Structure 1
Amino acid sequence: MPILILAAGASSRMRGADKLLLDVDGVPLLRRQARMAMEVSTDVRIALPPRPHPRYDLVRDLDVQTIEVADASQGMSASLRTLFATLEPEQSHAMVLLGDLPDLSDDDLRAVMSATTQYPDALIWRGATQTGKGGHPMVVAHPLFDEFQTLEGDSGGHSIIANHKGAVHLVPLKGNRARQDLDTPEDWAAWRAGRSTSGAPR
């Protein structure tokens, strides 16, 4: 199953820093996400901003496809449109993975993938918090690929999810990892402090 990583955003709330270049367990976050995806799939495609950009250097030596999003400034929908346009007609499913969820593990990705066979009547399978709030990763079935290629704005796939809410299956993952994105320096500081308290690597 292809894994589509969204990593073309501008990190606009980081006040000059690039969150995908920041260190997580000794590895830049984007490289960590790419390597995690490679543990699960041999087909990893990463949406990146227009070249030149330092994010390309983080994954240059990895066996992944880097997909340049020419209109990345238009928001997340531009990345989704671009990535879904690369999928071959024979693909039955594709996983969407945000580049900035540092607590996800390869086991989480496998759990959401496995749900596609356990609950085959759904069209969307989403990682969720233990309290039932939908997040990522998210697997999309082929009948919805065209809808993702026509998205507009920066709301990501929320409109598609809403239109097909009866065909969404949630897969609870540990804690808040399905939604734990880090958008500001304060988010990063709080996250690192929490990991330090729990004894996890920072």
Structure 2
Amino acid sequence: MPVPRRLPAGNQLGHDVTGFLPDLADVPGITGFRAQDDAVWQRAVHYLHVRSNDVHTAYAYGLAAALCDLHPEADRDIVLPAIILHDTGWSTVPEDQVLEAIQPGAGRIDLVLRHEKKGAAIAAEILGDLGHDRAKIDRIVAIIDGHDSRSVTLGLEDSLVKDADKLWRLTPHGVETVMDWFGLTRPQARLLISSRVHDHLFTDAARTIARALAAVATIDSVPQRIALG
């Protein structure tokens, strides 16, 4: 039986190179959930099983962590719990109405506001139960209560949460999700997403990341790439 190609000795090169990999700590941009954030995630994920919000939130967490790396002055203890909890309030909206809230050309601002208010309450309860600092809970709750509807930012941490949330749309998972939500082709989804992301970001770091993600999404749709299979 052939050796699976992604085992150390079953690759195109023909021998094991894993002993030459660098230490994880020496490589920038590789992130995972911090232990304290995993505790929040374990409590929050129950509320996120609506329209792929769980996967969306996991990707947004990674993007938020990257933005924090680029803004070391930001308080991760606010940004990262906030991004985990920001969409928990959609669990209180009937699932068949969620897409009505964000559909192109229309929308239900009442549902958007509802998910923000309910998400803020869920966040306060979870973070309180986990013993988080009261002042930081208040800031996280304020960020969540308005993360979609508020066009201005409360400060750097709010900006990073808003930016990470929007950047997800340009990831491969975000594009595929929007295609499924609205029955769009890949170029149509990319056009809709771009109209809702690039001009609505708060930080230069996020704008740079958005350009890179948009370039990947664009090349996924060009005939030259498609012809390669």
Same-fold status (TM-score > 0.5): no
Higher helix share: 2
Compute the TM-score of the two structures, normalised by the length of structure 2: 0.26
Larger-gyration structure (1/2): 2
Identify the structure with the greater strand proportion: 1
Higher relative contact order (CA 8 A, sep 6+): 1
Tell me the TM-score normalized by structure 1: 0.28
